[in-house]
Amino acid sequence: MANWILLLVALASLNLSLCKREPEYFSPRSCKELMERYKTEEDGLYYLTSPTGVVYQTYCDMTTAGGGWTLVASVHENNLYGKCTTGDRWSSQQRGSPNVPDGDGSWSNTVTFGNAEAATSDDFKNPGYYDITAENVAVWHVPNNERVGRWKLTSFLRYHTESKFLRSYGGNLYNLFKIFPVKYNAGSCPANHGPSVPVVYDVGDASFNHKLFGPHVRGETEPGFITFRAINNERAAMAICLGVKPKGCNTEHSCIGGGGHFPEASPRQCGDFASFDWDGYGTNAGWSASKQVTGAAVLLFYR
């Protein structure tokens, strides 16, 4: 019983010198608040506190385009050969089936998983995803299994929105996906795509972004955007199209996350990275994405 007292001592140790100060310190809710109120300028892991009191650790990007970006989630493909199996938390771990049209439902529920340090080795979602009120989104593509200190260095593609589009959709992706459910049969293509928002590139550019996808995909997409809730020919729903706006309806080759059912050749297109391997894993031919983007985690930030 006396064992855990040391934690308290540890946690308390830093405020010994504060005993005489004013009670001016509060735990920040986002990296933006951390930057603005505490003048924190260094990228790295910090603790935040949600309005409901959950204390959690996440990564802050304090330098890109003015800084203040909070990592709220990562989408990691643990096994592209496993079709909606264990580890596919952003689509479904229940195999593809029309009986579970929204799959695991992670895009619009409060379930959290993973931890910040392992965000490139496993799916990650923290309370910031549904509790922070933000205006813009940033995306980093970081090779799987990179350690935190090397994320910025090794990311080969990074982009962010500047239009403050989240203001129109409830302030975060949790609310946006309440409006545009990531659910099989929730709409048709192209009528029911969610918003496509222009992006600014911080690493890479639109042309490089486009080449990460197969030639057939390039013919059906326009780079320089991020798209939320795409629908494909068979009425499957996906969450995020990576740096592109769909022009056609084979969205499963450039969009990630998804509901619980992908009818075409079911369950072959079901999974966190949907059908990035339709013409072979990492071949970058036909409808297949490159090895680079397929073997990288997608980190999602709010500001």
Residues lying near a copy of itself in the complex (CB under 8 A) are found at 1-19, 21-28, 34, 38, 40, 42, 44-47, 49, 51-55, 57, 78-79, 81-82, 85-87, 93-94, 97, 99-100, 104-105, 109-112, 114-115, 117-118, 121-122, 127, 145, 147-148
For a copy of itself, the closer CB: 29 or 160: 29
Listed residue (255, 257, 252, 220) closest to 234, CA to CA = 252
d(CA 297, CA 301): 13
CA 14, chain centre distance (Å): 34
Least distance from a copy of itself to the Cβ atom of residue 67, Å: 14
Least distance from a copy of itself to the Cβ atom of residue 174, Å: 10
Secondary structure of residue 62 in the 3-state scheme: coil
For a copy of itself, the closer CB: 8 or 191: 8
For a copy of itself, the closer CB: 36 or 42: 42
Q: What single-letter amino acid sits at 20?
A: K
Residue showing tokens 């059912």: 261
Least distance from a copy of itself to the Cβ atom of residue 164, Å: 25
For a copy of itself, the closer CB: 99 or 153: 99
d(CA 37, CA 33): 6
Least distance from a copy of itself to the Cβ atom of residue 149, Å: 9
Least distance from a copy of itself to the Cβ atom of residue 145, Å: 6
Q: What single-letter amino acid sits at 286?
A: G
Least distance from a copy of itself to the Cβ atom of residue 277, Å: 10
For a copy of itself, the closer CB: 98 or 219: 98
Supply φ then ψ for residue 292, to 5 degrees.
-60, -50
Q: Is 207 exposed, middle or buried (0-12, 13-18, 19+ CB in 10 A)?
A: exposed
Contacts of 1 (CB under 8 A, 6+ apart): none
